[in-house]
Amino acid sequence: MARSKPSPLDGLLDSPRVREAAQALVRVVAEEARERSLTPKAYARAVRQLERLRGRPLIYPALIGNTGRGARVVLADGTTKLDFIGGIGVYGLGHGDPDLLETAVVAAAGDTVFQGHLMPGPEYLRLSRSLLRHAGPRFKHAWLSVSGAMANENALKLIFQKHSPADRVIVFERGFAGRTLALAELTDKPAFREGLPLRGNVLQIPFYDPGDSDSTAHSLAALDAHLTRYPGRVAAMLFELVQGEGGIQTAPREFFAALMQRCREVGIAVWVDEVQTFARTGELFGFQSFDLADSVDVVTVGKLLQGSAVIFTRPYNPRPGLIAGTYAGSTVGMAVGARLIERLESEGYLGPDGRTAVLGRRVERRFDSLRKRLPRAVGPRSGIGAMHAFVAFDGSAPVAGAVVRAAFEEGLLVFTAGVNPTKVRLLLPLNTTDEELEAGFAMLEKSLRLVSSEREIPC
């Protein structure tokens, strides 16, 4: 059968000529970058300058270079670290993935650096198509944007417009939705809205408490109380199925299902924020891992996608003008995002026995054995797939911070999440190998022992 003429909508990497040129460029850039690492002094100077310019210190002095591979990131001074946090969940397949870099350079050599909603390109179409195909038949539309916060702003606006004049949103305690003026109020972190004018239209209910056998009933009662107090004024409830910034807290399906069912009964929008969970729970969308697809009206994604989007059912399609903006995303971000989704599907990352779910089980086993060796340093662990956190020692913020800094010195990048307790969080590359896991956990163990001896707290 004659091969049909290639379409501009299919991407150019399927052309051997283009693929070879992309490979050559990626190779030369890595070779050149390897010759350019900074001396320790120059590195320290660059970090100090960066901190001065942005007006506050980095959490740890990690200025990344160009030659990392997999979970290993190479810093600009040539030192290698294991990256189990990925810029807070952004580097889904780790560092220096050849195919993603080749996808990126081909997209970068195209017509535009960024794409807007007025003149979208093929990458825009490919990404929208791919997101909607995976989200399932309920979802009819996707609107692209750059950051998780922008996707959430768009979600909030299209929900309010559909449910006008309802002007309130129900959220979970400890949730995080972003840092715009509106989202800072949905986010349960008082420090993140210090000095900001508040509208006071956000209502909180408790998140699942594993220590309370009536947790679902308590949260339902809190939801009902708000609905009774503000009849006709609640537009939506926001769900974060695994609370990322809140400490990788999750709940059984029944908890979310009961609350979503009540939202549907009273006709308020079910909005799921998947900015941090996207592709990390074992399926592309967390609502698929929890088998809740039939209950969701609006979903937002970001981070690992290399851009962001709000995805919604037909009734939520807003009237023209409500959501727009110049930029939909960078051409590179869209091309890489679409390619990532393609690969997660074709390389077996999705599903209950997919690579991400298997990684999750491996991480659990590693934590179990670490806990046996250091029972007082490794407290409760939570998480799923490629997102995990644990309570280190007493779970206080200074101790969690000390573990994160000690891990950095040992060669491992992790970060904190949550308050009371503040946990140590891991957002691993989905393709983390066993060797990388073993090396990372050995570093984590060393860091915990170090903190234990420095602070004279038993481990």
Residues making contact with ligand PLP (CB under 6 A): 147-149, 152, 176-178, 240, 244-245, 273, 275-276, 302
CB of 407 to ligand PLP, least distance (A): 20
CB of 272 to ligand PLP, least distance (A): 10
Q: Which parts of 43-92 are beta strand (E)?
A: 72-74, 80-83
Which is nearer to ligand PLP, 144 or 451 (by Cβ)? 144
CB of 92 to ligand PLP, least distance (A): 14
Which is nearer to ligand PLP, 280 or 366 (by Cβ)? 280
Buried b (16+ CB within 10 A) or exposed e, 406-429: bbbebbbbbbbbbbebbbbbbbbb
Buried b (16+ CB within 10 A) or exposed e, 49-63: eeeeeeeeeeeebbe
Distance CA 186, CA 253 (A): 23
Query: Which residue, judged by CB position, is nearest to ligand PLP in the bound state?
Result: 148
CB of 400 to ligand PLP, least distance (A): 17
CB 127 within 8 A of CB 294: no
Tell the residue number behind the tokens 């679409």, with chain if given. Answer: 338
Cα 428 to the chain's mean position, in Å?
11
CB of 5 to ligand PLP, least distance (A): 39
- The total number of residues written for the chain in this structure: 459
Residue 167 Cα distances to 28, 199, 202, 231, angstroms: 55, 10, 9, 11
Which runs of consecutive H residues, i.e. helices, occur in 137-285? 148-163, 183-186, 215-229, 253-266
Which is nearer to ligand PLP, 105 or 419 (by Cβ)? 419
CB 262 within 8 A of CB 141: no
Which is nearer to ligand PLP, 67 or 276 (by Cβ)? 276
> One-letter amino acid identity for 442?
A
Which is nearer to ligand PLP, 216 or 243 (by Cβ)? 243
Which is nearer to ligand PLP, 112 or 147 (by Cβ)? 147
CB of 20 to ligand PLP, least distance (A): 35
- Give the residue from 70, 43, 72, 48 showing the smallest Cα distance to 58: 48
CB of 430 to ligand PLP, least distance (A): 17
In sequence order, the 6+-apart residues with CB closer than 8 A to the CB of 227 are 234, 262, 266, 268
Which is nearer to ligand PLP, 249 or 431 (by Cβ)? 249
Cα 35 to the chain's mean position, in Å?
33
Which is nearer to ligand PLP, 308 or 431 (by Cβ)? 308
Distance CA 42, CA 226 (A): 57
CB of 1 to ligand PLP, least distance (A): 45
CB of 275 to ligand PLP, least distance (A): 3
Number of neighbours of residue 456 by Cβ within 10 angstroms? 6
Helix (H) or strand (E) holding 387: strand 387-392
Which is nearer to ligand PLP, 65 or 89 (by Cβ)? 89
